A and B are shown apart, each in its own frame.
Chain A
Amino acid sequence: KQEVTQIPAALSVPEGENLVLNCSFTDSAIYNLQWFRQDPGKGLTSLLLIQSSQREQTSGRLNASLDKSSGRSTLYIAASQPGDSATYLCAVSPWHAGKSTFGDGTTLTVKP
């Protein structure tokens, strides 16, 4: 059974700092890995999708990497802003229409 772990559970940083969020998974037989952002009381917003054959994806100040063999992914946020404050979740899927397994998330607070 796939298990996804996100460390740390919570993180507080001053504005402008670069930071890394971690995601690990136990079964390396994944189809893709996806990073999401969730604001309080809202649905999830897709940030980055990494297919199993890819090593990283970038979007603006966000960069996600994937090391499938070691079961790890990182989400790098550059020059953090207060607007980045949210809960970040990662999820892995075993195939393109399969059920994804979600981590419990990392709650990020960026202080002005």
Chain B
Amino acid sequence: GAVVSQHPSWVICKSGTSVKIECRSLDFQATTMFWYRQFPKQSLMLMATSNEGSKATYEQGVEKDKFLINHASLTLSTLTVTSAHPEDSSFYICSASPSARGTGELFFGEGSRLTVL
């Protein structure tokens, strides 16, 4: 398999602060990574596609100025929730696919639980 690491696993912050979540592919390179949001007992909601060296592509309805995505290298993408509010509390998950394999198989991070007070 392939390993994707997400950090932090959980974070609690005050309303109005910004939080950064990291997604790293530990043993492969990924040109593209994906960020999702998941509400309790619901499936994944794709937020954006993170592209190495270029701007992320956001899904309709996702505020790009609020959810800043940076994909500075082939092994790291970050999601920054800016000026977080309680409604941003959620489970955020990233995924990546080894570019070299060409199979499109997705590997997921462990997820990050964000709680905004």
Contact = CB atoms under 8 A, between A and B. Distances in A.
A44 B96 CA distance: 12
Contact of B97 (A42, A97, A103, A105): A97
Given A96-B97, A97-B31, A99-B49, A46 B105 contact: yes
Interface residues of B, number: 27
Interface string A74-100: 000000000000000101010111111
B31 A43 contact: no
Contacts, number: 61
A100 B108 contact: no
Contacts of B111: 41-43
20 contacts: A32-B103, A32-B105, A34-B106, A41-B91, A41-B113, A42-B110, A43-B4, A44-B95, A46-B105, A46-B106, A49-B103, A49-B104, A89-B43, A93-B106, A96-B97, A96-B102, A97-B97, A97-B99, A102-B44, A104-B42
Interface of A: 31-32, 34, 36, 41-46, 49, 51, 89, 91, 93, 95-100, 102-105
